[in-house]
Chain A
C-alpha cells in the first residue's frame, strides 16, 4: 500500500490512547485525541482521515453525541464506536440513525480493530467514488438538459426554415428570387453543419484522453495561414502571425488546434464591417515551458455585460453571424484539459483580444 490509512482515535483515558497507538502505528497513521476539540482539530488539519474510533463514555459528551455532531461537518470519515456491552441501547439507536458504521466492544481485540479498519476503508472508497460519480452525473444531466433544449432550436430551427422555403418555392416563378432563396437555404444548412461539427468537438473533448507530442509552432503557423487565406483575402482582412519558439513544447495538438481555430474563426467572423483596416493578429510565444497565445482582432467587440457569459454553453452574444454557442465553451473545455488559462479584453466596435497561456506537458 502506497500510503498508510489515516485513523483518529478519541478517548478520555490516556492509557487507552497509548495502547491503541502502540498496537497500530506500524500499519496505520494513528492520530489520538483526549477530548473533542483535539479531535476536531485533527479532522480539520487532515481532511483525508478515513476512520474515526471513539469511546462511548467520555465526561463532556458520549461518543454517539460526538459522532452525531460531526456528521454534517466531516461527512467523509467512517465512524466506529468503542463501547462496553452495558451501553448497547444507545449504540443500537446510533447505528439505526446512520451515525456510526459499526461498533467494537470494550476491551477491544486487535483483530476486530484491524478488520473494522479494513471494512471501513473499503466503505470509505466506495463512498468517495460514488460522490465523484454523482457529481459527474449531475453535471452530465445539466448539460443534457441544455442539449435537449438547444436541439429543438439549433437543429429544428434551420430545418423548419428550409421546409418553409420549399413551401414558398411552389409560388416562386422568378429565377433570381429563387436563387436568392437557395443562397439563404445554403446559409441555414451551413449553420446546421457547423453546429453538428462543434457538437462532435464537444463530445471528443469530454471523453478523449490526451495524446502528448512535441508541437512545432512555425509549422502550425503555416497551416493556419493556409486555412485562413481564403477568408482573409475575400474579406480584405490582414492576417498577421508572429511566432517565437526557441525551445520544445509538449502538448496535445488536437485541443490546442481547437482553441486556435475557434478563436481565429471568431476573429475573422466578427469583424467590424465599417472598418477599412481589418486585421487579425496571432502571436504564439513559447518561453520557459509556457505557451502564450494572443488573438487580436479589429472586430465588433463584446458588450461588457456579455463578457462574463461568453464561455457558457449555447451562449451567443451577437446575431451578426451564425454562431452555434459551442465555440468558446469548447475552448474553455479544451483549456481545462491542457491546464491552460484564458482572458479576454474587448472594446465595442474596436476589437477583442484573447490571451491564452498553456504550460508544456
Chain B
C-alpha cells in the first residue's frame, strides 16, 4: 500500500511549498491539489475517489478560504459516510496562532493534527510517520 496526498488551499504559493515538502519526503507520492474546499469535497464523494483511495490519503487542509472555509469542509466531512471518512487522515495547515482557532480545530474528531505555516519538512515527516503507525500502512 502506498500513500497519497490531497492539498486544499486557496494560495498557489502554499500549494507549491506543500508539494515540495511532500516530494521532499518521497518523490513517488501522489499529490492532488484543490484550490477550493468545495471541489475537494465533491471529489472525496465521487466514485473515483471511493474506488481509488484506500484508507491512506493524507489531507492537508487550510482553514481561511473563501466560499467554503476549512471549518465548513470539516463539518461537511464529518457528516459523510463513516466508510468514506475512514479513508482520510486530515491535518490542518494554518497560519493562525489564535487560541480560539486552535480550540476550534482540535474540537473536530476528524482533525488528526495541526501544522503551522510555513510547513517544514521535519514536521510533515513526523506527521507521515505517525499516520503510518496509526493506520498500520506499509510503505513500498
Q: Which residues of A pack against B, CB within 8 Å?
A: 149, 152-153, 156-158, 160-165, 167-168, 171-172, 180-181, 184-185, 187-188, 306, 316-319, 323
Contact = CB atoms under 8 A, between A and B. Distances in A.
Nearest to A186: B13
B64 A165 contact: no
Given A152-B96, A160-B95, A180-B16, A167 B66 contact: no
B11 A188 contact: yes
B88 to A, nearest CB: 21
Nearest to B24: A171
B135 interface: no
A167 B12 CA distance: 16
29 contacts: A149-B98, A152-B95, A152-B97, A153-B64, A156-B95, A157-B64, A157-B95, A158-B11, A158-B13, A160-B116, A160-B118, A161-B14, A161-B117, A161-B118, A164-B13, A164-B14, A164-B17, A164-B118, A165-B118, A168-B16, A171-B20, A181-B13, A181-B16, A184-B12, A187-B12, A188-B11, A316-B66, A317-B66, A319-B35
B94 to A, nearest CB: 9
Contact of B13 (A161, A317, A319): A161
Contacts of A319: 10, 35-36, 65-67
Given A157-B95, A319-B35, A163 B118 contact: yes
Given A153-B64, A156-B96, A187-B13, 12 more contacts: A157-B95, A161-B11, A161-B13, A164-B13, A167-B118, A168-B21, A184-B16, A188-B11, A188-B13, A316-B66, A319-B36, A323-B66
A165 B13 contact: yes
Interface of B: 10-14, 16-17, 20-21, 24, 35-36, 64-67, 95-98, 116-120
Main secondary structure of the interface of B (DSSP, over half): loop
Contact of B96 (A153, A158, A161): A153
A318 B66 contact: yes
A319 B95 CA distance: 18
Nearest to B38: A319
B18 to A, nearest CB: 9
A168 B11 contact: no
Q: Which of B10, B35, B66, B116 has the most CB of A within 10 A?
A: B66
Contacts of A158: 11, 13
A171 B98 CA distance: 31
B66 A184 contact: no
Q: Report, nearest first, the 10 A-B pairs whose CB atoms are least far apart.
A: A164-B118, A316-B66, A160-B117, A184-B13, A161-B13, A164-B17, A319-B10, A153-B64, A160-B95, A163-B118
A66 B117 CA distance: 63
B66 to A, nearest CB: 4
A317 B69 CA distance: 11
B96 to A, nearest CB: 5
Contacts of B13: 158, 161-162, 164-165, 181, 184-185, 187-188
A158 B13 CA distance: 9
B89 to A, nearest CB: 22
Contacts of A185: 13
A211 to B, nearest CB: 35
A149 B94 CA distance: 13
Q: Which of B20, B95, B98 has the most CB of A within 10 A?
A: B95
A153 B66 contact: no
Q: Which of B13, B65, B96, B119 has the most CB of A within 10 A?
A: B13
